[in-house]
Amino acid sequence: MAIPIRKPNEIAKLSRAGEIVGNTLQYLQNNIKAGMTLQEIDAMGEEFIRSSGGIPSFKGLYGFPSSVCTSLNEVVIHGIPSAQIIKEGDILGLDIGVKYDGYYGDAAITMPIGNISKEDEALIACSKDALYHAIGQIKEGMRFKELSYILEQFILSKGFLPLRDYCGHGIGAKPHDEPNIPNYVDGKPNQGPKIRNGMVFCIEPMVCQKSGSPLHLADDWSVVSEDGLRTSHYEHQVAVIDGRAVILTNPSNSQ
């Protein structure tokens, strides 16, 4: 399947969807406190999205029951909000999708709850720094597999491992589109499709400690590493404009 090239008017809509995502993540990051439940956080996120003119696109997507993926501690992605109470020393992944005027935005962060350990600080920094490092390397004409190689090498250099079997993705008038962008390379990085101006996609390093092999919890959504240790996840949506990647999911202001 061909990777879509977005027109400027499409990128403008994707940018607005992304802006709502970025603002929502910043709002949650500024307001989440120990003692809240994951369900309360989900409700806060949904209310903010709707008040901003967006639709929470994860709610009902493939059967997912909530607006915000709340991935706590060992859960790396797709955590379902529950009545569980977050506490000091936890780390919490927040993954948010928004639909606006027929186009989608998608981004994620992992945040500390109060004071966390140095080990957890390093874990979160790995996924965040891998994301920004990779975005800074993107240029028109490089291959998507080269991007995956950059992500993998950065994660490995920090002493961590990328989660297997899950990946970043294209995005546009569908929440998930071509191409798939793993955080690792199987085969040679100098193969496969090239990055072109007008392409819009999500990069999302998912970082594990001892094993990158995924396991599903009993809810059939929450993904953990088979090592049972804490994980982290960061994601931005970018558009390739004038040969470089422009982040579409930055917040527009302080919330």
Tokens found for residue 24: 């929502």
- Yes or no: say if 211 and 165 are a contact pair by the CB < 8 Å rule: no
pLDDT tens readout for residues 5-36: 999 999 999 999 999 999 999 999 999 999 99
pLDDT tens readout for residues 163-192: 999 999 999 999 999 999 999 998 889 999
Q: Right CATH number for 8-246 from 2.60.40.10, 3.90.230.10, 3.90.660.10, 3.30.200.20? A: 3.90.230.10
pLDDT value, residue 183: 98
Tokens found for residue 208: 């594990």
Which of 78-82, 186-190, 198-202, 241-245 has the lowest average pLDDT? 186-190
> Could you tell me the pTM of the whole model?
0.96
Q: Where are the domains of the chain?
A: 8-246
pLDDT tens readout for residues 80-128: 999 999 999 999 999 999 999 999 999 999 999 999 999 999 999 999 9
What dihedral angle (degrees, nearest 10) is formed by the CA atoms of 95, 104, 243, 1? 100
pLDDT value, residue 187: 84
Type of residue found at 229: L
Q: What span, in angstroms and rounded, lies between the C-alpha atoms of 19 and 25?
A: 10
Chain mean pLDDT for the chain: 97
